[in-house]
Amino acid sequence: MGTHTEKGRPRVTDVHDLVRDLLDAEPRLAPVYREHLADNVELLIHVLLGDVTRWLRQNGPAAAVLAVLERHLAGGDSDVQNAIAASFVENLEPDDATIHQALGPGLRAELQRQERWTPLDLDQPT
């Protein structure tokens, strides 16, 4: 979990760190991960995070899972941040209120950013 560089500063995490930390934090995700690999042959992080979102809907907002997502949203590389934003946060539904309430500040800010997003009006002058 707390991976550091030689100088004691946290290093940027990648998708493999994220998956490892999710499985360490919540062993009940192991079958989800095994099924994901069986279905896809390789890790497809966006698909896996969609599976994690569905698992949270079925099992409730597991604090350990949300803490891992929060930590990696803040300290992950661009692939990790994109996957969490696009395949976890974006997949949350308005009726996922218990999950929304359990989100940490970074995930909540991302959810609010996405809720405020509107498409550009291409007919308007720039």
Alpha-carbon distance 36 to 90, whole Å?
20
- For residues 114, 59, 78, 1, the Cα torsion angle rounded to the nearest 10 degrees is 140
Q: Taking Cα atoms as reference points, which of 75, 82, 74 lies closest to residue 10?
A: 75
Question: Residue 121: its pLDDT value, please?
Answer: 60
pLDDT of 4 over the 60 cut: no
In tens, the pLDDT along 43-97 reads 999 999 999 999 999 999 999 999 999 999 999 999 999 999 999 999 999 999 9
Q: pTM of the full predicted structure?
A: 0.85
∠ CA 51-89-50 to the nearest 5 degrees? 15
Between 10 and 4, the more confident residue is 10
